[in-house]
Amino acid sequence: FLPTMFEYQKRFKPSEPIGLGAMAVHHIVDEDLVKCPSFTKFQMPKDDVKYLIGHNIDYDIAAINRAGTETNGIKAICTLAMARYMWPTLEAHNLTALAYHISSDRKATRRGLRNSHSALTDCKTTFLLVARIIREKNITSLEDLWEFSQQARYPTHIFYGKYKGWAIKDMDDYDLGWLLQRTDEPYLRISLQNEFEE
């Protein structure tokens, strides 16, 4: 049920200079964007977008909203949340690591990732990841995929900091409370609070 075409690709000029960290990841420099339209000119490719799929989709939603495009009513599907839910003990959950994890031919994957972090390569990698998730979870519709994504947003493990790799269900009350006092991530807070109350 997922289309396989990647025809919509366009660059926009941001409101501020690109940081060195972003340049190091994406290999896009300010000079590449001089003749591009302002980010405020961004529009969805269609008027009736119902779902948006992305790796850490909340970041993309925030960027779209900053551009002045409304996303109310669009259902966000997060491949990062689903990957963490399905494979919580992986060393990393970034797109490149996940591409190698789901690959049946790592040499071919390496060739395909030479331009990783370009928008189009990231889209293709996200597509392969979501296709794998769909197969493994036996998902048959975008609505079912969205529902699984919503379930997966509530983490079962900790993915950073001193508790990285810990299953939330195995944490004692002290550790749950300590982390609850220090995180502002809403889904993690709910997972921690639910475990604490149990």
Q: Give the residue, 99 or 117, on which the prediction is more confident.
A: 99
Express each pLDDT in 138-185 by its tens digit: 999 999 999 999 999 999 999 999 999 999 999 999 999 999 999 999
Distance of CA 134 to the CA centre of its chain: 16
**Residue 117 pLDDT grade (very low, low, confident, very high; cuts 50, 70, 90):** low
* Long-range contacts, 88-96 (Cβ 8 Å, 24+): 88/155, 88/156, 88/157, 88/167, 89/157, 89/165, 93/159, 94/55, 95/55, 95/122, 95/125, 95/126, 95/129, 96/125
- What confidence score (pLDDT) does residue 105 get? 92
Distance of alpha carbon 169 from alpha carbon 161, whole angstroms: 17
Beta bridge partners of 157: 167
- What confidence score (pLDDT) does residue 2 get? 58
Express each pLDDT in 2-60 by its tens digit: 555 555 567 889 889 999 988 887 778 899 899 999 999 888 877 788 999 999 999 99
- What confidence score (pLDDT) does residue 51 get? 94
Q: In which element (H, E) is residue 168 found?
A: none
